[in-house]
Amino acid sequence: MFLDESGDHSLDKIDKSYPMFVLAGCIFDFDYYSNEVETKVNQLKIKHFGKTDIILRSYDIRKQKGEFSCLVDKRKRESFYNDLDILVKSLNFKIIAAAIHKSKLKNQYFEPDNPYNLCLQFILERSVMFLGRSIEKMIFRIESRETHNDKKLAEVYEKFRSNDHQLKEGFMFKKEEIQSKFTDLSFNQKIQNIVGQQIADLVAYPIGVSVLDAKRENKAFEIIKTKFHSKNGEYLNIGLKIFP
């Protein structure tokens, strides 16, 4: 699972136009990711930007900043978005995400926890359910922030692994079982150019926009919602946790 966020996790200053914090986790089979996903994403980069050492970052793409300034050209922009849509549709992965409306969180709770910590907790819970009683294991790759933030997230992860958990539908997972399923957590810098991290970045913002305003046109989300971990076609509270 590669994780990246959209929005600022601070509760001190909230952007009224986008009062959201979203953490999105993209789950890939390890061999499939190594053998196919990286190659396909790099092919997209070469086609549109002539190189692979470019970081696909949602904010820069939307604002046509830096190396994405070429997207001010409408034809280039439409061609890139079309190919990106086709690529994301074609990739085999699942999303488990958590979205927090920060203004609602502050209004409803006297001393709310940090949105990043809350979102990671929600995702860990759903990741256990995703794996179920299978023998599959999961490793987590999170984009690194400041050292103290990374330390806090590592504490959330280790606390979760160190306790038994009674989850939905009567599932009880002992800590030993969770520790055998969650085998590694690491923090990676954006400049490392990790493809999975970039896909997580690209899906996080459309999720936030959809939660904030479901009526707003959101073509990217129409693709993304087909990737959510779901049960009987339902992904809310399964592949997507919205809080509060």
Q: Mention every residue, 6+ apart, whose C-beta is less than 8 A from residue 143.
A: 3, 4, 5, 187, 188, 189, 190, 197, 200, 201
Percent of the chain with pLDDT over 90: 91
How much is the pTM? 0.96
pLDDT tens, 148-178? 889 999 999 999 999 998 877 667 899 999 9
Instruction: Please tell me the total number of residues recorded for the chain in this structure.
Output: 244
Tell me, what's the pLDDT at 146? 81
User: What are the backbone dihedrals phi and psi of residue 79, each rounded to the nearest 5 degrees, phi first?
Assistant: -65, -45
Average pLDDT over residues 8-30: 95
Tell me, what's the pLDDT at 166? 84
Tell me, what's the pLDDT at 219? 94
Percent of the chain with pLDDT over 70: 99
CA 56 to chain centre: 14
Tell me, what's the pLDDT at 169? 64
pLDDT tens, 38-69? 999 999 999 999 999 999 999 999 999 999 99
Tell me, what's the pLDDT at 85? 97
Helix ranges (H only) for 134-194 are 147-161, 175-181
Q: What is the DSSP letter of 226?
A: T
pLDDT tens, 98-115? 999 999 999 999 899 999
Tell me, what's the pLDDT at 175? 94
What band does 21 get if pLDDT is binned at 50, 70 and 90? Answer: very high
Whole-number Å distance between alpha carbons of 29 and 17: 36
pLDDT tens, 75-84? 999 999 999 9
